[in-house]
């Protein structure tokens, strides 16, 4: 457990309040957290239409469902692996330096992803974005933990700046809706090189936004002085993964890693998988007609594909059928853009609004509840009730209220991300803060927790039909929803059980 607390005076704070430098630090951190989520939550909004275009199949094609799970998992695993290495870089080369570099990585990679003309390039640049986000999160919370020596100020700084992460989710949903509106009105400009001007491309390219304020504020914010002083004095220990599993730290490392995995599994395997592949099947009247039209066009293309197998390639008839096939794909893309995508955006907006509420509740709880274990359980217990109720009953019986159920799930899931951002820097010594925080967040959360997306869409959903005829009769979207509910309920139950093993942070002498 950590006894390395920032010495008084590491960052000047006065009783009259925060100085200019401290406010700049908070601004940079808030921007970083805001765009962390902005960059990541582009995925459930753009992934289905992007895969549909790049694979050349309709949005409801099984290949899209398969690749949604693969992309969510592959990008997160890449982020986890390189984020783990980034944790050691944070401890070796400095918090601010690595944080800023990671922000620039996740600012430019979405632009290149938006210009991708193949699935491989889209996947590569989305992986780069996840790498930047995974490194930035740990660097930022470690940086904040060392820049504010006063315990109360530090908790408020970390708690409230992390609340901006959910603002990022609201912002990207609003930006996506605005871009979709422009596309429906034919107001999006043409992209060069014959690249299609689809809304998902423009949504991705807005990922460049955080680079501008960060570049302007960079010269005015300091590196962690306590880290810098110990580095120069030669008294800073070398980061080591082995030390994380020493008798003093093993329980903390293992339990925090498993709990982080549960939180990310709920986010990716339940919330994001549902927004991407469950919402289009929501049994509400406004989606009935679009689904019927998509079904007819899909059947027409299946028939065309069958005819083309028995036809000479390059013949006039084959060319005509290929033209019809592409026309049907274009029509399905238009239906998805005009009718399905707004529903995804509505549900994601409420999910992120819930996430913002959860982060605010977490920030408030930090000031009134001493036990960090109790704070975590404050969100786990109601989440364990909400997930099965909303995903198994509300979705099918009261679908008009499903988005509000997702709002509640967002409260109880997203708050846990802020929780670990505040908890992890407290329980590892200074020379292991980046390494330990990165291990728990990236190995547990990004590498293992996010694999729940693959579990939901590629393993559970396709095999539900083997369990009962009733489940077999469900469509693809409904099966994904049931699978997402199973995953969410399971990981909340596991997380609640693990929370009783979570060590409390050491008491800080001289602070309340």
Its pTM stands at 0.75
Answer for the pair 352, 173: CB distance below 8 angstroms, yes or no: yes
- Tell which residue, 123, 159, 87, has the closest CA to residue 445: 87
Assess whether pLDDT exceeds 60 at residue 508.
no
Query: What six digits make up the tokens of 347?
Result: 């549900």
Enumerate the β-bridge partners of residue 14. Answer: 17
- Tell which residue, 89, 168, 248, has the closest CA to residue 414: 168
Distances (CA, A) of 458 to 72, 273, 323, 490: 11, 11, 32, 17
pLDDT digits (tens, 9 = 90+) for 149-189: 777 787 778 888 888 888 887 888 889 889 988 988 888 88
d(CA 491, CA 493): 5
d(CA 282, CA 285): 9
pLDDT of residue 386: 97
d(CA 374, CA 12): 32
Query: What six digits make up the tokens of 33?
Result: 């957290």
Residues of the chain with pLDDT > 90, as a percent, come to 29
pLDDT of residue 121: 94
CB environment 316-337: b (16+ within 10 A), e (fewer): eeeeebeeebeebbebbbebbb
pLDDT of residue 304: 84
Rg, the chain, Cα only: 24
Query: What six digits make up the tokens of 482?
Result: 């049931």
Phi/psi at 287 (5° precision): -100, -5
pLDDT of residue 262: 97
d(CA 297, CA 392): 30
Answer for the pair 205, 110: CB distance below 8 angstroms, yes or no: yes
Give the start-to-end residue ranges of the domains of the chain.
Answer: 20-499
Q: Give SS3 for 234.
A: coil
Q: Give SS3 for 318.
A: helix
**261: number of Cβ within 10 Å:** 26
pLDDT, mean of residues 423-452: 86
- Tell which residue, 161, 80, 67, 182, has the closest CA to residue 122: 67
pLDDT digits (tens, 9 = 90+) for 211-251: 888 888 878 888 888 888 887 877 777 777 889 999 999 99
d(CA 218, CA 304): 57
Tokens 């509420």, located at residue:
357
What does the chain come to in residues?
Answer: 512
d(CA 261, CA 267): 10
**What rounded mean pLDDT belongs to the chain?**
85
Distances (CA, A) of 117 to 146, 381, 435: 43, 45, 37
Q: Which residues contact 167 (CB under 8 A, 6 or more apart)?
A: 34, 37, 356
d(CA 203, CA 72): 17
Q: Which residues contact 498 (CB under 8 A, 6 or more apart)?
A: 255, 258, 259, 262
Assess whether pLDDT exceeds 90 at residue 453.
no
- Tell which residue, 77, 81, 76, 125, has the closest CA to residue 105: 125
Phi/psi at 449 (5° precision): -60, -45
d(CA 445, CA 486): 18
Query: What six digits make up the tokens of 329?
Result: 């794909």
Res. 511 pLDDT band, cuts 50 70 90: very low
> DSSP code of 288?
H
d(CA 195, CA 208): 19
Res. 479 pLDDT band, cuts 50 70 90: very high
Assess whether pLDDT exceeds 90 at residue 494.
yes
pLDDT, mean of residues 286-298: 85
Enumerate the β-bridge partners of residue 17. Answer: 14
**145: number of Cβ within 10 Å:** 27
pLDDT digits (tens, 9 = 90+) for 293-331: 888 888 888 888 888 777 777 787 888 888 888 888 888
pLDDT of residue 512: 33
Q: Give SS3 for 17.
A: strand
**Distance separating the N- and C-terminal Cα atoms of the chain:** 19
Q: Give SS3 for 14.
A: strand
- Kindly report the CATH class assigned to 20-499: mainly alpha
Answer for the pair 349, 404: CB distance below 8 angstroms, yes or no: no
């Amino acid at each position: 457990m950590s006894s390395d607390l920032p010495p008084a005076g590491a960052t000047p704070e006065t009783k009259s309040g925060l100085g200019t430098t401290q406010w700049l630090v908070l601004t940079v951190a808030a921007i970083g957290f805001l765009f962390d989520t902005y960059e990541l939550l582009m995925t459930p909004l753009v992934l289905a239409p992007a895969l549909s275009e790049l694979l050349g199949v309709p949005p409801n094609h099984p290949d899209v469902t398969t690749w949604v799970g693969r992309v969510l998992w592959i990008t997160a695993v890449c982020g986890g692996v390189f984020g783990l290495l980034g944790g050691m870089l944070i401890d070796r080369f400095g918090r601010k330096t690595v944080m800023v570099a990671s922000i620039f990585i996740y600012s430019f990679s979405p632009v290149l992803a938006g210009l991708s003309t193949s699935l491989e390039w889209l996947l590569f640049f989305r992986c780069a974005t996840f790498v930047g986000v995974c490194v930035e999160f740990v660097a930022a919370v470690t940086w904040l933990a060392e820049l504010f020596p006063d315990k109360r100020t530090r908790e408020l700084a970390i708690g409230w700046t992390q609340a901006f992460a959910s603002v990022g989710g609201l912002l990207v949903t609003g930006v996506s809706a605005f871009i979709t509106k422009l596309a429906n009105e034919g107001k999006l400009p043409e992209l060069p090189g014959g690249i299609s001007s689809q809304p998902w491309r423009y949504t991705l390219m807005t990922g460049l936004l955080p680079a501008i304020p960060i570049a302007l504020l960079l010269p005015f914010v300091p590196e962690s002085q306590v880290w810098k002083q110990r580095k120069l004095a030669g008294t800073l220990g070398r980061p080591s993964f082995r030390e994380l599993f020493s008798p003093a730290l093993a329980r903390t490392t293992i339990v925090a890693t498993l709990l982080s995995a549960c939180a990310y599994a709920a986010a990716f395997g339940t919330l994001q998988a549902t927004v991407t592949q469950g919402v289009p099947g929501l049994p509400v009247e406004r989606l009935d007609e679009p689904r019927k039209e998509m079904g007819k066009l899909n059947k027409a293309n299946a028939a065309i594909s069958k005819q083309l197998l028995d036809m000479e390639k390059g013949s006039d008839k084959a060319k005509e059928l290929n033209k019809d096939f592409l026309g049907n794909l274009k029509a399905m893309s238009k239906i998805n853009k005009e009718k399905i995508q707004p529903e995804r955006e509505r549900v994601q907006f409420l999910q992120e609004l819930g996430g913002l509420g959860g982060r605010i509740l977490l920030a408030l709880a930090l000031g009134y509840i001493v036990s960090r274990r109790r704070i975590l359980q404050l969100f786990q217990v109601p989440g364990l009730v909400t997930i099965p109720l909303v995903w198994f009953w509300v979705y099918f019986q009261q679908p008009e209220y499903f988005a509000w159920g997702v709002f509640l799930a967002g409260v109880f899931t997203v708050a846990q991300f802020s929780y670990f951002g505040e908890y992890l820097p407290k329980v590892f010594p200074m020379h292991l803060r980046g390494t330990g925080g990165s291990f728990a967040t990236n190995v547990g959360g990004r590498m293992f927790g996010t694999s729940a997306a693959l579990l939901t869409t590629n393993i559970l959903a396709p095999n539900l039909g083997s369990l009962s005829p009733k489940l077999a009769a469900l469509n693809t979207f409904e099966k994904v929803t049931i699978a997402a509910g199973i995953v969410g309920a399971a990981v909340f139950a596991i997380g609640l059980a693990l929370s009783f093993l979570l060590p409390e942070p050491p008491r800080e002498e001289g602070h309340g």
